[in-house]
Amino acid sequence: MQEIVVKLRFCTLSFYDEYVIAKINEGVHLDHDHNEVLIKVIEDHYSKPFVYITHRENSYSVDPNVYPRATKVEYLKGFAVVSNKYQAKINAQIEKMFFGKPFEIFANINDAVNWAKELIAKG
């Protein structure tokens, strides 16, 4: 499976066939402007169903108001948060309330990737 890596000033995106893995840089506050850049890059890449996986290795914050807009991305079928940090999991539980599609939280990347593949396979 071919990986395509796109580095932006605030994150790194690794594109795969059925999912994209985002690693947001340390200390970023992910707001509307960042979200619009992410959506543009992702929509330019996918013209078929995919899952967005955020691998939260770094500490950063997310404005939950980005989720209603992200929910409207045409081919986005689900959203996964990967972290083994307590605070990141608590934050993700709050963020989940703002997102109108499947949203799951995982402790490791392999579980998130497997979930993404299952979600895409279900159609």
Structurally, the chain folds into a number of domains equal to 1
Residue 19 is part of which domain span?
A: 4-122
Kindly tell me if the per-residue pLDDT of 2 is higher than 80. Answer: no
> Rounded CA gap, 84 and 77, in Å?
23
pLDDT in tens, 49-62: 999 999 999 999 99
Identity at 93, one-letter amino acid code: Q
Q: Is the dihedral of CA 75, 111, 8, 94 positive or negative?
A: positive
CATH of the domain at 44: 3.30.750.24
Q: What is the mean pLDDT of the chain?
A: 95
Stretch 32-61: mean pLDDT: 96
Could you count the other beta carbons within 10 Å of the beta carbon of residue 82? 23
Kindly tell me if the per-residue pLDDT of 83 is higher than 80. Answer: yes
Give the 3-state secondary structure of residue 66. helix
Give the bridge partners for 50, in sequence order.
Answer: 76
Percent of residues, the chain, with pLDDT higher than 90: 92
Residue 102: which pLDDT band, with cuts at 50, 70 and 90?
very high
Kindly tell me if the per-residue pLDDT of 74 is higher than 90. Answer: yes
The structure tokens listed for 2 are 């071919």
pLDDT in tens, 20-29: 999 999 999 9
